[in-house]
Amino acid sequence: MDLRQGLLRWFRQHARDLPWRHDRTPYRVWVSELMLQQTQVKTALPYYQRWMERFPDLRTLAKAPLSDVLKAWEGLGYYRRARFLHEGAKHIQEHLGGHFPNTREKLLELPGIGPYTSAAIASLAFGLPHAVLDGNVERVLLRLTATRESTDSPGLKARLSRWADGFFDPKHPGPFNEAMMELGATVCTPVQPSCTRCPFAAGCLARRQMCAHEIPVPPVKVPAKKISRDFQVAFHGGRVLLAQPEESGRWQGLWTFPLLPSYSESRFHAGKSAPKSRSRPLPSENATPFLVRHSIVQERHESRFHPDFHRGETRSGCRWHSLKRARSLPMPIAHRKAFEHFFPD
C-alpha cells in the first residue's frame, strides 16, 4: 500500500472526534482554524463550543459588538484572531452578500488569512486541492526525509512547501490534509514520536536512521525579552478605574488597569536586573501588589498590579465602572486574573 493510502486508512481508524469535524461549513472551519493557531486543541475546545452557541453563523457574528466578540475570546490570547473573525464576518456580509469566499485566492483577501489558513479552508470546506503546511506537517515531512537542517535555514521553507505539494493527494484534499496534521499532533509528536503506531514507519528515513528525536533542528535561541510593567488597581465608591481600549496594537478593543506612568514599560533583557530607581512612589506602598507572569512568543511578561483603594482620582483615558460592568468587559488574561484576585465574584 502506498504511504498516502496508508495515511488515509490510519486517519479513518484513529481520527479524534472533534466538534469542528462535524457539520463542516466554511464558517465553522474558519473559526476552528483561527482558534487553533497558537492554541492547543484541549484549550480551544470549550471556547469553540461556547463561540458556536453565541455566534452560530456569519450573520450573528457580523452583527455582534466587538466587545462581545472579544469577551468570548477572553483567555485565549492573541486577540487579533478574534478581531480578524469579526472584521471578516462583517466584510462577507456587507461586501460579498453573505457568501463565504470559495477559492483560495478570494480567501486570501479576508483579514488574517494567510497561506496556511486559506489552504485549510479551501481543502476542508470546499474540497479544493491545496496542501497545507503547518508546524505538524513540517515536522512529519522533515522526519520522513531525515532532514537535519535548522528550521530557519534559507530555502528550507520553500523546499518543504514543494514536498508538501508533491506528497499531497489531490483526490482526497480535505482528509489528506487533516490526516497529516493529525499524525503530527498525535503520533509524530515533537518529543518521543510513537513510530510503532505510525502508518509511515516502513518508509520513514528518520526512523531508519534512529534520529527522529533530533528532528526538527531548532533555530539558535534568541534570549526572551523581559517586559516588566506596573498597573494601578484603583477602586473607590464601589467602582473600579479601567483604561479605555487601545485603538490599535495587541490590546485593541480590550479594557485594562491603567499603567502606572512612573513605571511605564520598564524593559530589560533576561539576565539583567530590573531598574531600581523610580521617579514617583507607587500608590498604597504598603498594600501587596499582585504579580502575574506570562509569556508571549519571544517575550516574558511580568505584570504587577498595585491596589489603590483610597483615592478616587480620574486619569485621562480612563473610565470608572461598577464591578458588575467591569466583569462583563473584555480584558487581557493577566488583567482578568488581577481583577478576580482583588474583586472575587
User: Is 302 a residue of the active site?
Assistant: no
Give residue for cell 520553500. 158
User: Which one from 33, 138, 178, 182 is the annotated catalytic residue?
Assistant: 33
3-state secondary structure of 262: helix
By CB under 6 A, is residue 296 in contact with ligand SF4?
no
**Are 73 and 81 spatial neighbours (Cβ–Cβ below 8 Å)?**
yes
Site for ligand SF4 in 230-269 (CB under 6 A): none
Taking the C-alpha atoms of residue 222 and residue 3, their distance in angstroms, rounded to an integer, is 37
Stretch that binds ligand SF4, among 204-212, 273-281, 283-291, 333-341 (CB under 6 A): 204-212
By CB under 6 A, is residue 4 in contact with ligand SF4?
no
Q: In the set 31, 85, 125, 144, which binds ligand SF4 (CB under 6 A)?
A: 144
Binding-site size, ligand SF4 (CB under 6 A): 14
Q: In the set 85, 120, 133, 206, which binds ligand SF4 (CB under 6 A)?
A: 206
Q: Which is nearer to ligand SF4, 125 or 206 (CB)?
A: 206
Burial code (b: 16+ CB inside 10 Å, e: under 16) for 87-115 equals: bbbbebbeeeeeebbeebeebeebebbee
By CB under 6 A, is residue 207 in contact with ligand SF4?
yes
Give the H or E element holding residue 292.
strand 290-296
DSSP states along 65-89:
-HHHHHHHHTTS--THHHHHHHHHH
By CB under 6 A, is residue 188 in contact with ligand SF4?
yes
By CB under 6 A, is residue 146 in contact with ligand SF4?
no
Provide, rounded to whole angstroms, the least separation between the CB of residue 134 and ligand SF4. 15
Nearest one of 58, 85, 89, 59 to 72, comparing CA atoms: 85
| Residue 14 neighbours by CB under 8 Å, 6+ apart | 182, 186
Stretch that binds ligand SF4, among 48-56, 167-175, 193-201, 278-286 (CB under 6 A): 193-201
Give the H or E element holding residue 129.
none
Provide, rounded to whole angstroms, the least separation between the CB of residue 8 and ligand SF4. 15
By CB under 6 A, is residue 198 in contact with ligand SF4?
yes
Percentage helix, strand, coil for the chain under 3-state DSSP, each rounded to 5: 45, 15, 40
Provide, rounded to whole angstroms, the least separation between the CB of residue 186 and ligand SF4. 10
Give residue for cell 482620582. 313
Q: In the set 193, 216, 307, 330, which binds ligand SF4 (CB under 6 A)?
A: 193
Which parts of this chain interact with ligand SF4 (CB under 6 A)?
140, 143-144, 187-188, 193, 195, 198, 200-201, 204, 206-207, 212
Q: Which residues are catalytic?
A: 33
